[in-house]
């Protein structure tokens, strides 16, 4: 099993869509990239912790590759939006890939270059992996619990 961490706006939609992929065991909503240990949702909302809402994806690399996950990430949110995602505006909703190896970094750079060659101005930030803090239980599997659907995440083919 391998893990990958992506931030693409509200973690509910990102988690929901990643969990639908073959080879993904689970996706967990949480916070990363900030300075506060074990932040709460209420703390993250203050914009003082530096955390982004993110999703940690647990996957089988024999079934789905990191590159396939990263490509999907760029297609389930708007990687050109600079101030959040859809109607969710704020630092905690920025687009970022938290890479854990040189290979993951190189893969993300390659995909960003492909998208920029296609005319997209990519706002996705590449950041070295930071501690990932699981969000409160009521955030986990939100759409499965509520029967809703993502309100600012849809699939858009970009590759």
- For 32-87, write each residue's pLDDT tens digit: 999 999 999 999 999 999 999 999 999 999 999 999 999 999 999 999 999 999 99
Spatial separation of the C-alpha atoms in residues 48 and 13, rounded to whole Å: 24
Question: Six-digit token pair at 107?
Answer: 């893969």
Spatial separation of the C-alpha atoms in residues 5 and 98, rounded to whole Å: 5
What does the pLDDT read at residue 55? 98
What does the pLDDT read at residue 145? 94
pLDDT at 152 over 90: no
Mean pLDDT (whole number) for 99-112:
98
b/e per residue 35-50 (b: at least 16 CB within 10 A): eeeebeeeebeeeebb
What does the pLDDT read at residue 158? 97
Question: Six-digit token pair at 115?
Answer: 């998208």
**Catalytic machinery residues:** 10
2-146: in CATH 3.40.50.1220 = no
Q: Where are the domains of the chain?
A: 2-146
């Amino acid at each position: 099993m391998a893990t990958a961490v992506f931030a693409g706006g509200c973690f509910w939609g990102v988690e929901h869509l990643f969990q639908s992929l073959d080879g993904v065991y689970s996706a967990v909503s949480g916070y990363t990239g900030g300075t506060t240990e074990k932040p709460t949702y209420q703390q993250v909302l203050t914009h003082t912790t530096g955390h982004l809402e993110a999703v940690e994806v647990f996957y089988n690399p024999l079934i789905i590759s990191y590159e396939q996950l990263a490509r999907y990430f760029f297609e389930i949110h708007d990687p050109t939006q600079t101030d959040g995602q859809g109607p969710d505006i704020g630092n905690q909703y920025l687009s970022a890939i938290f890479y854990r190896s040189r290979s993951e970094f190189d893969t993300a750079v390659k995909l960003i270059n492909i998208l920029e060659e296609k005319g997209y101005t990519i706002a996705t930030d590449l950041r070295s992996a930071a501690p990932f803090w699981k969000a409160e239980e009521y955030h986990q599997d939100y759409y499965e619990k509520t029967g809703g659907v993502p309100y600012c995440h849809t699939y858009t083919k970009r590759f």
